[in-house]
Amino acid sequence: MKKITLLMFALATSFAVSAQEVVLSQTDGAIGDAGVACGDSGAGTTGDNYYLRSYNMAEHGVTGDVSLTGIEFYVGSATGTTELEVMVFDYVGFPTGFDVTALPTPLASGFITVDTGMIGTLVRAEFDTPAPANQDSNIVAVVFEADGQTSAFYLGTADTETHDSYLASVACSLNEPLTVTDIGFPESRHVIDLVTDEALSVSDNFADNVAVYPSPATDVLNVKLPSNVVVESSALVSVLGKTTGVTLSNGVMNISGIAPGVYFLNLETNMGTYTQKVIKQ
CATH number, domain containing residue 245:
2.60.40
CATH number, domain containing residue 44:
2.60.120.820
For residues 50 and 154, state if they share a domain: yes
For residues 88 and 146, state if they share a domain: yes
For residues 122 and 249, state if they share a domain: no
The per-residue pLDDT for 228 is: 75
Domain holding 28, by residue range, is 2-199
Q: Residues 37, 42, 47, 48: what is their CA dihedral angle, to the nearest 10 degrees?
A: -90
* Sheet of strand 231-238, all strands in order from the earlier edge strand to the far edge: 231-238, 261-269, 272-280
For residues 60 and 44, state if they share a domain: yes
Last residue of a domain, one of 176, 199, 222: 199
The per-residue pLDDT for 273 is: 77
Last residue of a domain, one of 172, 199, 226: 199
Determine contact, residues 19/69, Cβ cutoff 8 Å: no
Residue 240 CB coordination number (10 Å): 5
Residue 104 CB coordination number (10 Å): 11
The per-residue pLDDT for 203 is: 53
For residues 191 and 206, state if they share a domain: no
Q: What is the DSSP letter of 217?
A: B
For residues 184 and 241, state if they share a domain: no
Query: Domains in the chain: how many in total?
Result: 2
What residue spans of the chain are helical by DSSP H?
204-208
Q: Residues 223, 228, 232, 238: what is their CA dihedral angle, to the nearest 10 degrees?
A: -30
For residues 36 and 166, state if they share a domain: yes
Contacts of residue 255, Cβ cutoff 8 Å, sequence gap at least 6? 217, 218, 219, 220, 221, 236, 244, 246, 263, 280
For residues 239 and 180, state if they share a domain: no
Last residue of a domain, one of 149, 179, 199: 199
Show the low-confidence residues of the chain (pLDDT under 70).
1-20, 199-207
For residues 170 and 234, state if they share a domain: no
For residues 186 and 212, state if they share a domain: no
How far apart are alpha carbons 71 and 222 in whole angstroms?
44
Determine contact, residues 218/281, Cβ cutoff 8 Å: yes
The per-residue pLDDT for 14 is: 36
Q: What are phi and psi of 55, to 5 degrees?
A: -115, 105
For residues 75 and 9, state if they share a domain: yes
Question: Measured in Å, how far apart are the chain's first and last C-alpha atoms?
Answer: 51
For residues 130 and 208, state if they share a domain: no
The per-residue pLDDT for 13 is: 34
